[in-house]
Structure 1
Amino acid sequence: MPRFADLTAPEIAELPPDTVAVLGLGAIEQHGPHLPVSTDYVIAAEAAEAAVAAVAEAGSASVVLLEPLAYTKSDEHSWSPGTIWLSWDTLMRVLVDIGRSLSTSGITRLLFVNGHGGNSALGQVASRELRKQFGLATFFAHLSVPPDQGGRSSREDELGLGIHGGHGETSMMLHLRPELVHQDRGERKVPSHLAGYQHIGFGKPVSFGWLSDDFGTDGYLGDPTTATAEDGKARFEAGVATLAEVIVEAARFSPSA
């Protein structure tokens, strides 16, 4: 496994110029009574590592794995015990400082693998800032695009509202860390009235500012009762296969013809 932190400084200096550095962005935040606060961190870290391992084994691109970030922008869950969050400007400075350091080390390509939807908007801004300040080629990916950001809902019966602690995340944690899942404590928490709005809502043309305790659902949205380890394994492996393809593309991507 090509881990950046395990290399010596001269080895890093000798990396090929098209090497892709992969940084997992997780979170430590409440996920209801049935999932650990490490859920987003576990999924992002495991996905980034598995994708890097697949690319390295295939020899299809030069890639290094950075240590993932656990503490990110989780202020929508700041009302709950267990949530540790950075302010938006602190996280922005962290991402920019990491990018600056990588550029000093000769890295020119950086791929974020995001496991927490609350990081997405800021991650996009940071990606452009890193491009502008240091000339980095930056890319922002998810294991799977969250439903509230235009991705497909994990299950049709979640009505596009299974965005936090629902079927998808619970299934993946049953696959990755089954000993940390308390599925018997979870209930269906789908605020179906939101599906009645035509224009405003998750994955709809008009977004809205929200906190995770706005919905009267104990802070999670979705249906964890339908989750299975088998489904989680299928979701995780499909996402990792796509991420591996993304890494290979990122190694040769150029916006100009």
Structure 2
Amino acid sequence: MTTVPRFIDLTAPQVAALPADTLAVLPLGAIEQHGPHLPVSTDFVTASDAAEAAVRAVAHAGTASVVLLPGLAYTKSDEHHWSPGTIWLSWDTLMRTLVDIGRSLQTSGITRLLFVNGHGGNSALGQVACREIRIRFGLRTFFAHLSVPADQGGRTSAAAELGMGVHGGHGETSLMLHLRPDLVHMEHAQRRVPEGLLNYEHIGFGKPVSFGWTSDDFGPDGYIGDPTGATAEHGKAIFDAAVGRLAEVIVEASRFVTPK
């Protein structure tokens, strides 16, 4: 198996000697409640494992110079602030952290940075950080989802979830059944789909008008979706597709230039 090129395994001179346009890949996860059936590490596990597999694939193919940064576990999870198990950073703490990472990478001679995001709550702030790092330090920055969340226009929700499988539902549960089945408690999985949102034409998950919410708005269990039909086989299919897509993104980001 091809060795994953990890930034932290290099010496300082080796970092300085990396080829021009080497892409640094930083997984963004979360430590937050995912209901009674999934571990609080869900987003960290899925983002980190997918990013590692994609970096390994690119390194094996030799199609880009890429290094994997250690994943960031603690991020912006304040929509789950109410629950035991959630460890979250304020928006300004996370913003400063991401910007400081960009500054440090510039000092190391890195000119390209790809965030691989496994938690929807990071999306808006991550995109702002990409531009801030670009403006301050000149890095070419990119923000990719493991899969675009359903509440942000993605088509990742199972049919039974009516487009509302945004947290701890069929997809995430399937992924964890594939990656870490020892941490999944399917005996506690139930359907938790807020069908009342169907009464609104414009406002809702994946609709033109978003709304501020916290996960306990939808009930005390803290998850939103239907994990009951999740399977490891479906999780493998989701994971393999995500890894293949991320590998293509890595290659593209390593050569991307802004069109004139």
Specify if TM > 0.5: yes
Is the Cα–Cα contact under 8 Å of residues 18 and 109 in structure 1 kept in the other structure?
yes
Aligned to 2:82: 79
Give a deviation string over 1:36-83, Cα, whole Å, max 9, x none.
Answer: 000000001001100000000000000000000000000110100000
Post-superposition offset of 1:136: 0.6
Residue from 168, 171, 175 that aligns with 1:172: 175
Moved over 2 A (4+): none
Give a deviation string over 1:95-148, Cα, whole Å, max 9, x none.
Answer: 000000000000000000000000000000000000000001000001110000
1:189 equivalent to 2:179? Answer: no
Gaps of 5+ in 2: none
Structure 1 window deviating more from structure 2 (167-176 vs 190-199): it is 190-199
Structure 2 distance, partners of 1:8, 1:225, is 47
Residue from 238, 241, 248 that aligns with 1:235: 238
1:109 equivalent to 2:112? Answer: yes
Amino acid corresponding to residue 230 of structure 2 in structure 1: A
Residue from 194, 207, 210 that aligns with 1:207: 210
Is the Cα–Cα contact under 8 Å of residues 148 and 156 in structure 2 kept in the other structure?
no
Post-superposition offset of 1:10: 0.7
Amino acid corresponding to residue 106 of structure 2 in structure 1: S
Amino acid corresponding to residue 21 of structure 2 in structure 1: D
Post-superposition offset of 1:217: 5.3
TM-score, L = length of structure 2: 0.98
1:54 equivalent to 2:57? Answer: yes
3-state DSSP of counterpart to 2:26: strand
Amino acid corresponding to residue 212 of structure 1 in structure 2: S
Structure 1 window deviating more from structure 2 (211-220 vs 177-186): it is 211-220
Gaps of 5+ in 1: none
Aligned to 1:27: 30
Amino acid corresponding to residue 52 of structure 2 in structure 1: E
Aligned to 2:164: 161
Post-superposition offset of 1:218: 1.3
Q: Cα RMSD (Å) of the superposition? A: 0.7
Is the Cα–Cα contact under 8 Å of residues 189 and 217 in structure 1 kept in the other structure?
no
